[in-house]
Amino acid sequence: MKILVLLNPCSGKMLKTYPKVIARIEAFGQNAGWDLHIKTSESRGHCRKLAIQAAEEKQWDIIASCGGDGTLNEVAGGLVNTSQTFAILPMGTGNGLARHLGIPLNLEKALSVLKDPRIVSIDTGTANGEFFCNAAGMGFDAYVAQEFNAITGRHQWAYIKATLGCLRRYRPRTFYFGKKTPEAREVKGFLFTIANGSQYGMNARIAPGASVQNGKLDVVGVPLGSPWAALPAIVRMFCGTLTKSPKVFFERTESIHISHTGENVFHVDGEVRSYEDEVHFACQPESLKICLPQTERSI
């Protein structure tokens, strides 16, 4: 089997240890008898270019991302709507999609999945044409992503610290379904997340009922007046009961247009983007072939 691993040496767990990670992958591949190749990214966006090039070569049985959610976004975004099979080796901080799909977080166990994978097609999404695999959003989560992306040491405690710091500064927005006009339906809120998978990562389940095989996205809005009033919602996320709250907006849809007051930013899998008038979120059904463990787990 011929496997290409695209690795981001700056991902959460690999900032200082990526040579050891490469050695572990190479040793596993050699023992498995694979024709395994590893390429490392040199800059933001480089994994996307490497993935596109590799898909065009049509010589790989599997192309895997090794890194965090940003690396996953880059690699999967280069393979979406192709016949190429994708795999996840989760080495990031949150690993939201890997957790949703039941992919082991241990490197060797994740590599073991590739020995006899269950290959399925899953949905992905776009936000103003920008690809996302797990979740996109506006409001507080985009604000946190902007803060977190500026941090050098991107690990779990850094994310928690960034989140708490943002809670002190962030003020709720008015969200509009469509452009900011008097006729638009509006909700004053804390955040709106457009979820393909069920969680941000670290088992914070923003959309516990989400499926990557139903052809739709889960739109979850937390309409709170005070940032610190978000704490009960955070508890509900980790308990998997957020969308059961009558105060939380929930809608399942194929596409939706949203804009908001304040800074015009949104995120795709934690990567921050800007917009002018509104953001159009849309589902791309069955657009990515991916390796999963051999279980009947519902995804």
Q: pTM here?
A: 0.90
**Beta strand 173-177 pairing with 271-274:** unpaired
Residue 47 in tokens = 């994994």
H or E element that contains 108: helix 107-113
| 131-285 placed in CATH 3.40.50.1370 | no
Give the pLDDT confidence of 129-169 residue by residue, as tens digits.
999 999 999 988 888 877 766 655 555 666 666 677 677 77
pLDDT reported for residue 209: 95
Please report, for the chain, how many H helices and E strands are present, in that order. 8, 16
CATH topology of domain 2-116: Rossmann fold (3.40.50)
Could you tell me the residue ranges of all domains in the chain? 2-116, 131-285
* Mean pLDDT within 272-289: 95
Interior angle at CA 213, CA 207 and CA 217, nearest 5: 40
